[in-house]
Structure 1
């Protein structure tokens, strides 16, 4: 896409990405495309139901926690119940679409921070102290670490990543891609325990009971491997951003002006930034003090945990929105960009008006995802695929690699990590235990596959939102543009992470405290 970058003869891989982009962008508008995909699911569900397509397998019952043999049959959306479902659930599908509320609440705070100039001032200050060469690894690292707060990175860090790159005179879409790669592609990697570990290990433990009722997988069972994975994702993400993605992007119109203004903070803005910074520190300290007591309302009432089932994590989006909103208002009033509450409210309204395209896209996207879940086509695909792998007769490392690839493929159709693991764990955890491998290792293989293709599937809940953010800087951006930008990350993460797992297994290293590779 970059004229300068494309003046040279593109490589074979570059021509492939250009082809992906061209084909993808010849598709209809994303709203139309999601509507057509919804229609395709409706027709396919009727066909599969008429043919009696079904699949059976042992699964963890989400209500009882027990492993049960369950049979799933394709459900038609064109019979009496299906037509009634589409008619009566259209509104609830939309209002219950998890990314919608998350995005809009977060953007209230972020929008005020942008409108007041607070984010711009922060980025200019950061540009004065951070070397340009470190901006890519910094954005990707922050993206990887953001999964501690569940989905907060999607709605906060990705648009901010674009602004950070722009402040450094680099293409904002490259910053958006780098942040997206860290947040979504590196979703399983982290230096500490996040919200995903307790969720997955609970499902794993139910599957473990089929072989050894006394074996328990802890939330720390993958900690060593996932800590090491942070460095791998940051390294690969930086190389892809700097040497593959950004050279393909067209020169951004605002690049030169942004570069000239990096160091242009006035004395009044500097003073306002210091005041807002102190307010932000006080808010962080106050939150920490509120969370410290064992009986804090921010902790899980039963376990006292600050992560799993804690109100702190349940309300993290509102907390983050406030962490943007309050310092931004202080900055705006001190710097003069806001003269009173009317300007603050106007900034909030402007932030919401900018999300109009996303709201329209979210309506059709929510219908597609819910139709796919209702018809059980994804579950049947997962169970049939698991049967095929189980019957392949392949063992050891090759089967582990096939499992990673299967998880990555399945992720293109089922976005929820816990939903897929509920289906796959009762099959693959016992299978690999009988081959002599620990459940912790099997869980790692699943997490690798599950993370890598988040970047290229339109069925990922936040995919539509990323397209809307990209269009701020490239009005022509569509599904093809985003997939062609993110495909190199997806391929590199899948290959690099799989190779790391093989080397880890060959070296016989533990994957977590008290968790080895073999039984």
Structure 2
């Protein structure tokens, strides 16, 4: 009897190989420790072999870790074992950690989002948006709500997906079709949303760090992918609708099971209480207050802190873009607080502080991960390898004459391949961005477009792998309605969505580049490095 024969069914075939290979990977934090060790060895080799790369430079002052001579900027590999770099590693360790851009962004957003989540506002919003949904339009509404629910972090996995099954069953539709539609939107449509949120600013934090390898003054715009992520909602929603109603549900058959007491209890939970309705109204007023406040700080005659009057063009709005993280913090904090006050989950200011503390506790694993990620990014810059790889890679790609759409599709496919094994979007981007962002900038592709292509690839693969962190939970939801559901059953259920999303995602990236469409306010596909000329 062969090893293939005695393996459980879920571990056979290609998906079984993916599962076994993924399980061999250590925690992302350990991966970064390995990467730091490998980087130190490579830097020593590069310094010994004299690795370097140059490009024309019109500035008067050379960036850090570079030499300026005769209008040429030269980067040389520096050994991380050198006395200077070893001293910098230990003496600047707290500074390296604390100054890491994504860390401050996540902590700020999470403290506000924790109040909105723990007060019950996010859950009430999800339930209220699906209340009394017409049977015919249930699928597209779940799709849109699923993609918008990314603002509630991972709450949609726990709330929306099981609720979608209950809603489908309550009107005589197959509950597994509801689970499939919700999972497709929440996980497969992870890159889409109506408004940018915490994931956008988190990923752009890594993009900013990488872009500054080439352009030290480049500053992220949290709205840089707004039009693109909105386009994902527009294109993915009809896909979820068609695949669910025309492919998945007919394959599952008719649902004729009786409504049991547990199901009735779940349906009753879907109805908002009077206190919750009042809380949502109060939260809406609080949201309008935040919007009015920031509008006033842009438009008030003679007092415009969010407009740089000394600048010209789109850069005048840079203070406004920089304030969006604070705006999200205030929005989540105030709306969550007034909602909690209305429903009784917030009785005084101490409750708000406690919720903020709990929110920070939940990201403790992330804080550990970021410590090593921050040092990897910093040491990557100290070594000089990033600019050398970017410049050399850009020269070779330029010599090959590959079109921009093809380059971006390669990033998309690489992202989707890695997503089969590593679920964390930030873990992958913290490594990839250091190379692909500066490389593509030198080829004239904007950091925003590179980030958009990465996000698309990182999105649809979530529903194609059992290594996705919420996959076991979703499988439990499925088994409530069908005890025979297994890993392969759920993967087969979601595969049509993944393939359609993949094809649409590739077409969107190609179309955005081919038509030179704007990605967001003052953010385009192509980029001209301010102080450099492409090699």
TM-score between the two structures when normalised by the length of structure 2: 0.61
- Does the C-alpha gap of structure 1 residues 132 and 180 become closer, same or farther in structure 2, counting only changes over 3 Å? same
Deviations 1:160-210 (A, max 9, x none): 5546634634668766534632269x99xx9xxxx99xx9xx99xx9xxxx
Q: 2:369 aligns with which of 345, 361, 369?
A: 361
Report the CA distance between 1:347 and its aligned residue: 1.4
- Does the C-alpha gap of structure 1 residues 121 and 24 become closer, same or farther in structure 2, counting only changes over 3 Å? same
2:100 maps to what in 1?
97
User: Could you say what secondary structure the match of 1:330 adopts?
Assistant: helix
2:190 maps to what in 1?
180
2:171 maps to what in 1?
none
2:219 maps to what in 1?
none
- Does the C-alpha gap of structure 1 residues 503 and 340 become closer, same or farther in structure 2, counting only changes over 3 Å? closer
Report the CA distance between 1:77 and its aligned residue: 0.7
User: For the aligned residues, what is the CA RMSD?
Assistant: 5.4
Distance in 2 between residues matched to 1:300 and 1:282, nearest whole Å: 23
Please say if 1:310 is aligned against 2:318: yes
- Does the C-alpha gap of structure 1 residues 225 and 501 become closer, same or farther in structure 2, counting only changes over 3 Å? same
Contact in 2 for aligned 1:48/1:76 (Cα 8 Å): yes
Report the CA distance between 1:473 and its aligned residue: 6.0
- Does the C-alpha gap of structure 1 residues 451 and 240 become closer, same or farther in structure 2, counting only changes over 3 Å? farther
1:265 maps to what in 2?
272
Please say if 1:48 is aligned against 2:46: yes
Q: 1:32 aligns with which of 27, 30, 33?
A: 30
Unaligned runs of 5+ in 1: 1-7, 144-152, 207-221, 248-254, 430-438, 458-466, 475-483
Unaligned runs of 5+ in 2: 1-7, 166-178, 216-224, 252-261, 416-427, 462-466, 475-490, 519-523, 527-535
Q: 1:69 aligns with which of 72, 75, 83?
A: 72
2:87 maps to what in 1?
84
Deviations 1:291-346 (A, max 9, x none): 33364212233348787653332121222121111122222222122222222222
Report the CA distance between 1:388 and its aligned residue: 1.9
Count the aligned residue pairs. Answer: 425
Q: 1:403 aligns with which of 407, 412, 424?
A: 407
Distance in 2 between residues matched to 1:346 and 1:227, nearest whole Å: 34
Once the two structures are superposed, the pairs formed by residues 45-194 of structure 1 within 5 Å of their partners are: 45-58=43-56, 69-128=72-131, 131-135=137-141, 137-138=143-144, 142=148, 156=151, 158-159=153-154, 161-162=156-157, 165-166=160-161, 168-169=163-164, 177-178=187-188, 180-182=190-192
Deviations 1:338-394 (A, max 9, x none): 2222222221221112121111111112112222222222322222222222333x5
2:298 maps to what in 1?
291
Contact in 2 for aligned 1:139/1:182 (Cα 8 Å): no
Larger radius of gyration: 2
Report the CA distance between 1:111 and its aligned residue: 0.9
Distance in 1 between residues matched to 2:379 and 2:468, nearest whole Å: 23
Contact in 2 for aligned 1:162/1:174 (Cα 8 Å): no
Contact in 1 for aligned 2:121/2:339 (Cα 8 Å): yes
Contact in 2 for aligned 1:76/1:375 (Cα 8 Å): yes
Contact in 2 for aligned 1:300/1:309 (Cα 8 Å): yes
Distance in 2 between residues matched to 1:226 and 1:259, nearest whole Å: 32
- Does the C-alpha gap of structure 1 residues 111 and 16 become closer, same or farther in structure 2, counting only changes over 3 Å? same
Distance in 2 between residues matched to 1:487 and 1:44, nearest whole Å: 40
1:390 maps to what in 2?
398
Deviations 1:405-464 (A, max 9, x none): 5666898787697996655455x45xxxxxxxxx9xx9998676555456699xxxxxxx
User: Could you say what secondary structure the match of 1:391 adopts?
Assistant: helix
Distance in 1 between residues matched to 2:311 and 2:337, nearest whole Å: 37
Distance in 2 between residues matched to 1:453 and 1:94, nearest whole Å: 29
Deviations 1:19-71 (A, max 9, x none): 33432332222222221221111122112222222223346769799995332
